[in-house]
Amino acid sequence: MIKNEKLKLIAAVAALVSAAAGSAQAQDTIKVGILHSLSGTMAISETTLKDTMLMLIEEQNKKGGVLGKKLEPVVVDPASDWPLFAEKARELLEVEKVAVVFGCWTSVSRKSVLPVFEELNGLLFYPVQYEGEESSKNVFYTGAAPNQQAIPAVDYLMNELGVERWVLAGTDYVYPRTTNRILETYLKSKGVADSDIMINYTPFGHSDWQSIIAEIKRFGSAGKKTAVVSTINGDANVPFYKELANQGISAEDIPVVAFSVGEEELSGIDTGPLVGHLAAWNYFMSLPTEENDEFIEKWHAFIGDSKRVTNDPMEAHYIGFNMWVKAVEKAGTTDPAAVQEAIIGVAVPNLSGGIATMMPNHHITKPVFIGEIQEDGQFEIVWETPGTVVGDAWSDYLPSSKDIMADWTPPLMCGNYNVKTGQCSGQKYE
């Protein structure tokens, strides 16, 4: 009898210990999903972001992880294939049960995963500048909205360089089309005449720029200072700038300000013809701050190559990741609903010596810098906004969205609230 009881006790203790061990093992880590293309056309840009996330996670783990648990990266490859993005997102949320996902680059990939994140109530941090006109409960936009990149760039050209004639050149897809629509309305509101705006769209990967550059040249010889605002997508940029230089147009004659040419893109090309042209970003590798130096050093050590550059979307992930960590610690749990509530108002340092705050519309505050391209593929910062700019989800310059606002705090809790009609039109984004 006694012996039996003893045995029972031992068994019970053993069961308890093993159960505890088991559950400890199961909850030992917090899974973090990384949804960036590692193959296909977008691999060029997105691979770097995957590495950035791995570095940030490794570092956080060195500091002891989050809530006493280690972070475990789960990397999937959506292969630049938009429907596959949705599948992989579902896999991350349903099968891997990740606490949060960092990923996407193109707007179409974000639109593709959006329904998945909303259905399964996941969290997505999106690190790239985009066209705005969206605010989802489940997405945090750490890249720039048009008013954090395009509008300040145009202000710079208009006020500092005295530009009066505008070429809006872009690749033919949603980001350039929306951005140019916003810019066109903005320019007209500033009194620019219709005849002083030229809009041009080209297909993806356009490589024969001869006649378009000739047209720009002609447009620019009308006696007014002319500038090109370029939303040309990554790959088509090299032949574009080469042709500009070959036709003898220098940055001093007709400056080009680009929204998708950064350090990473410049590292793959001969920068000779680009010197003096401009780019607008919220971060440049050449920023002379301590935080930035430290970040670059860590990046070089992590990637094992001191020639690799850092760029704006990397900083966006840096900010987004730190915000998520802070929000999780604030909420005391990784539960998406709790994190969504906790993250609003969370402030973390950015790499330019300031503070980034998560706003109720799920966009963050950012400073805007204008840089001139230099021979070494870096940017000379020639202008910056006095303070940070709050990301505007719904542009004030589009008639269809000027009355709409996003606010994910109670009592509104709406991504597209129409202040005129007082209605929240549900998850309708167009």
Q: Tell me which residues touch another protein (CB under 8 A).
A: 38-39, 41, 43-44, 47, 161, 172, 200-203, 205-208, 210-212, 214-215, 217-218, 220-224, 235, 238-239, 242-243, 245-248, 251-253, 255, 264, 267-270, 272-273, 275-276, 306, 372, 374-376, 380, 382
User: Shortest gap between Cβ of 277 and another protein (angstroms)?
Assistant: 9
Spell 87-115 as b/e; 16+ CB within 10 A means b.
ebbbbbbeeeebbbbbbbbbbebbbbbbe
User: Shortest gap between Cβ of 234 and another protein (angstroms)?
Assistant: 9
User: Shortest gap between Cβ of 380 and another protein (angstroms)?
Assistant: 4
Pairing assessment for the beta strands 139-141 and 165-171 based on DSSP bridges: unpaired
User: Shortest gap between Cβ of 158 and another protein (angstroms)?
Assistant: 15
- Which is nearer to another protein, 209 or 324 (by Cβ)? 209
Torsion of Cα atoms, 367 then 137 then 343 then 282, to 10°: -10
- Which residues is 358 bridged to in the sheet? 364
User: Shortest gap between Cβ of 374 and another protein (angstroms)?
Assistant: 6
The Cα 344–Cα 103 span in angstroms is: 20
- Which is nearer to another protein, 201 or 302 (by Cβ)? 201
Torsion of Cα atoms, 284 then 251 then 220 then 201, to 10°: -40
- Which is nearer to another protein, 171 or 395 (by Cβ)? 171
DSSP annotation of 92? I
The Cα 318–Cα 295 span in angstroms is: 9
Q: Residue 212 corresponds to which tokens in the numbers above?
A: 């378009």
Q: How many residues does the chain have?
A: 430
User: Shortest gap between Cβ of 276 and another protein (angstroms)?
Assistant: 5
Angle between helices 174-189 and 107-120 (to 10 degrees): 100
User: Shortest gap between Cβ of 355 and another protein (angstroms)?
Assistant: 25
User: Shortest gap between Cβ of 418 and another protein (angstroms)?
Assistant: 34
Phi, psi at 257, each rounded to 5°: -110, 125
CA 138 vs. chain centroid, Å, equals 15
- Which is nearer to another protein, 80 or 282 (by Cβ)? 80
Coil, helix or strand at residue 169? strand
- Which is nearer to another protein, 11 or 222 (by Cβ)? 222
Coil, helix or strand at residue 418? strand
- Which is nearer to another protein, 52 or 334 (by Cβ)? 52
- Which is nearer to another protein, 243 or 392 (by Cβ)? 243
173 within 8 A of 159, measured Cβ to Cβ: no
What are the E-state strand segments in 36-117?
A: 70-76, 100-103
Half-sphere exposure of 19 (CA within 13 A, CB side): 6
- Which is nearer to another protein, 16 or 382 (by Cβ)? 382
